[in-house]
Amino acid sequence: MEKEKPVVSVRHLKKYFVANRHVFGATDYVKAIDDVSFDIMPGETVGLVGESGCGKSTLARTIIRIYEPGEGEIIYKNTDIAHLSNRKMRAYRNKMQMIFQDPYASLNPRLTVAEIIAEPMEIYNMYTKKEREEKVQELLEQVGLKPDHITRYPHEFSGGQRQRIGIARTLALDPDFIICDEPISALDVSIQAQIINLLEKIQDEKKLSYLFIAHDLTMVRHISHKIGVMYLGHLVEFGEAEEVYKNPLHPYTQALISAAPVADPVLSRTQERIKLEGEVPSPIHTPSGCPFSPRCPECRPECRIDPPVVANVNGHKVACYKYV
């Protein structure tokens, strides 16, 4: 069988924000994303984890071109979309969509549900007005809302229902790649499961690919086929979900997974926790060498000099000198 091509591949992507322009000389940059590369296959979910401020959301927003990407490539099917003009980008916007974190902020409070869901189709001049109305009904049903909800305003819905509306809106354009930027972290636990199940159901039906961002490790393990771990703008580990979870290679991933709560008190007592020393360094003055070196329990002298090259351990990628 011929090898499948990735839907989206990110190559050496960088995104620096200007933090401070000095009157003379250098400009300070926040290195929000620094040299990140990975692939997303059709019908696959890639989970992205990491602590707050490590660049997960920036990565998502850069891939979907809310932020202008710096160096690097974002390849959608066969086209590098990283540096397309806004006009040319329009042809690809309908193929990649995004579900936002806060369902209260992501729906325009002045529009009805029907207007919100129909808007992307209006923008792309898809279907006639009548067909659009039918499509809205269909989408609402698909995400588990009632057809008579269409004339309602967003403030009349609960958080979970709003997130469903948000999902229906992204599906309106029949995308083949959806970025979920912490779609469940603003919801109750019981609703989280519903939304996750809905996302999985839709994925099965439409062969969608997800980039799923979360900080809840168990949830990411459940939904993802592959997991990427980010630290300080770097992708430090990337591999099959079970593999990363059961056999973490990077010291940061090991610490992260050992810190996740376990639902079994007996097991939890016996489990050893890796406690990290210190704080995450400032993304402006990043450490030379491995970004994790100042806090790494297994740091070696060479870690502080040059950043590690990505090593491939049986298809499991890790950026650490232990595996070079």
Partner 1 sequence: MIQREEYFDPIEKEEQNSEFIAIERKSFVRDVWERFKSNRRALTGLIVLGIIMIITLLGPILSPYSYDGMGTSINSKVSLTHWFGTDALGRDLFIRVLYGIRISLTIGFVTTLINIVLGILYGGIAGYVGGKTDMAMMRIVDVMYAVPSLLYIILLMLIFGSNIGSIMLGMCVSGWIGVARLMRSQVITLKEREFALAAYTQGAGAGRILFRHLFTNAMGPIVVSATLAVPQAIFMEAFLSFIGMGISAPQASLGTLAQSARMYMSIYPNQMICPIAMICLIIFALNFIGEGLDEALNPKGSR
Residues in contact with partner 1 by CB under 8 A are 61, 64-66, 90, 93-94, 96-98, 100-102, 105-111, 119-120, 123-124, 149, 151-153, 155-157, 166, 169, 173
Closer of 102 and 243 to partner 1 (Cβ): 102
Q: Which helix (H) or strand (E) holds 155?
A: none
Q: What is the smallest separation between the CB atom of 281 and partner 1, expressed in angstroms?
A: 27
Closer of 168 and 296 to partner 1 (Cβ): 168
Q: What is the smallest separation between the CB atom of 18 and partner 1, expressed in angstroms?
A: 12
Closer of 152 and 300 to partner 1 (Cβ): 152
Dist. CA 164–CA 150, nearest whole Å: 13
Closer of 106 and 293 to partner 1 (Cβ): 106
Q: What is the smallest separation between the CB atom of 66 and partner 1, expressed in angstroms?
A: 6
* Max CA pair span of the chain: 67
Closer of 76 and 157 to partner 1 (Cβ): 157
Q: What is the smallest separation between the CB atom of 63 and partner 1, expressed in angstroms?
A: 11
Q: Which helix (H) or strand (E) holds 157?
A: none
Picking from 283, 282, 259, the residue whose alpha carbon sits closest to that of residue 271 is: 259
Q: What is the smallest separation between the CB atom of 265 and partner 1, expressed in angstroms?
A: 34
Helix axes 129-142, 159-171, angle to 10 degrees: 130
What tokens were used for 277?
A: 């020393």
Q: What is the smallest separation between the CB atom of 110 and partner 1, expressed in angstroms?
A: 4
- C-beta atoms surrounding 210 within 10 Å: 24
In sequence order, the 6+-apart residues with CB closer than 8 A to the CB of 143 are 164, 165, 167, 168, 171, 198, 202
What tokens were used for 77?
A: 């099917």
What tokens were used for 258?
A: 């050992």
Closer of 130 and 155 to partner 1 (Cβ): 155
Dist. CA 16–CA 104, nearest whole Å: 29
Q: What does the angle CA 155 – CA 159 – CA 160 come to, to the nearest 5 degrees? A: 130
Closer of 94 and 254 to partner 1 (Cβ): 94
Dist. CA 150–CA 167, nearest whole Å: 14
185 DSSP assignment: T
Q: What is the smallest separation between the CB atom of 119 and partner 1, expressed in angstroms?
A: 7
The tokens 């351990």 sit on which residue? 313
